[in-house]
Structure 1
């Protein structure tokens, strides 16, 4: 009898803007961990030729398409920004498709555990696909400072993004592991490696 290949358990990785979750995710992949980024899945489902894009154009009009047929995200954002009902319609269409895309990618993972990286892991309910949650946490003052340096946007815009994301307390309440990323990159890499070795000892995300 052949031994069945163990299905990887899924680690949810999240953190607020400027927390360093992308840097942490990148280091996990260098250690050989398969990873799916929910933001990438959200982009794939609205590519030209995919049914979602046709539905969006039908609903909002061709003004949400660029001349080359790609989705004009800025135009779409303007249309849904002040109209909660339109935003809910769009989420109702996209969230199940994004979840399917994520599941398909995770099903192909071959590492002992796989990672779902998502800034909206808690708010979107995507955490229900995971067995364990790692939150990259950072003091809010540092979050703002890093984001201002990286994105060149105003402090007001950073505050607006922070408001839209799940509160830090809410994220921490869901966390199994918390990595406080207030040091340099070398330190972050060391912490990721420490967690990776710990995760390799777990079965189904639990010790």
Structure 2
């Protein structure tokens, strides 16, 4: 069972790659984003740490954290982003380590464990994997996707991208680069050749 770290900047198309991969082979997907959403839910330690730092202005009526408001704050201020990362990153990593341990108890079930994480390098998750696959997409395409996906402005999308590791830096870590510049067929062809 091989552990693959799948990364790429926000809006590069990692989710599409994951979907195609799960149609092609037996994969267990660990989605770092979803874990990030889970650990900040009301009642979890990260929730209280975030409220203590950012205050109640980030809460929805039901008391849950409004990720959209929190996102606006942290992507406008590097120190706030740094603080949020300090609160969440090690918890996400811990959760993923425990998940991998569980999956490894039944090694015949999956051929690959895929850790899907935009911040694979920044969180240190890359130290857990056998290979790093990086998804590349043009900046304009990424901005458009983020705007559509998260219903935010171009300026907000650019801030998100700028808060992440640069492409020049990211590609230094890549064992494989997957180009998401055309269509799903083009992606599929690359993945077929990688899996071979």
Q: Give the Cα–Cα distance (whole angstroms) in 2 for the partners of residues 144 and 79 of structure 1.
A: 19
In the alignment, which residue of structure 1 is the partner of 2:11?
18
Matched ranges for 1:174-185 at <5 A? 174-185=173-184
- Stretches of structure 1 that go unaligned for 5 or more consecutive residues are 1-7, 199-207
Deviations 1:4-45, CA, capped at 9 Å, x for gaps: xxxx33110011233221100111122221110110110111
Which segment is superposed worse, 107-116 or 146-155?
Answer: 146-155
In the alignment, which residue of structure 1 is the partner of 2:106?
none
Superposed displacement of residue 81, structure 1? 4.8
In the alignment, which residue of structure 2 is the partner of 1:166?
165
In the alignment, which residue of structure 2 is the partner of 1:136?
135
Cα separation, partners in 2 of 1:174 and 1:98, compared to 1, 3 Å: same
Q: Give the Cα–Cα distance (whole angstroms) in 2 for the partners of residues 10 and 141 of structure 1.
A: 31
Q: Give the Cα–Cα distance (whole angstroms) in 1 for the partners of residues 147 and 162 of structure 2.
A: 16
Q: Give the Cα–Cα distance (whole angstroms) in 1 for the partners of residues 13 and 72 of structure 2.
A: 28
Cα separation, partners in 2 of 1:100 and 1:153, compared to 1, 3 Å: same
Other structure's SS at 1:71 match: coil
Superposed displacement of residue 141, structure 1? 4.3
- Stretches of structure 2 that go unaligned for 5 or more consecutive residues are 104-108
In the alignment, which residue of structure 2 is the partner of 1:38?
32
Which segment is superposed worse, 81-90 or 58-67?
Answer: 81-90
Number of residue pairs aligned between Structure 1 and Structure 2:
190
Q: Give the Cα–Cα distance (whole angstroms) in 1 for the partners of residues 99 and 169 of structure 2.
A: 27
Q: Give the Cα–Cα distance (whole angstroms) in 1 for the partners of residues 166 and 9 of structure 2.
A: 9
Superposed displacement of residue 163, structure 1? 1.6
TM-score norm. by structure 1 comes to 0.78
In the alignment, which residue of structure 2 is the partner of 1:62?
56
Q: Which has the larger radius of gyration?
A: 1
Other structure's SS at 2:171 match: helix
Cα separation, partners in 2 of 1:165 and 1:56, compared to 1, 3 Å: closer
Other structure's SS at 2:82 match: helix
Contact 2:26–2:112 under 8 Å retained in 1: no
Superposed displacement of residue 78, structure 1? 4.8
Q: Is 1:103 matched with 2:97?
A: yes
Cα separation, partners in 2 of 1:40 and 1:150, compared to 1, 3 Å: closer
TM-score norm. by structure 2 comes to 0.82
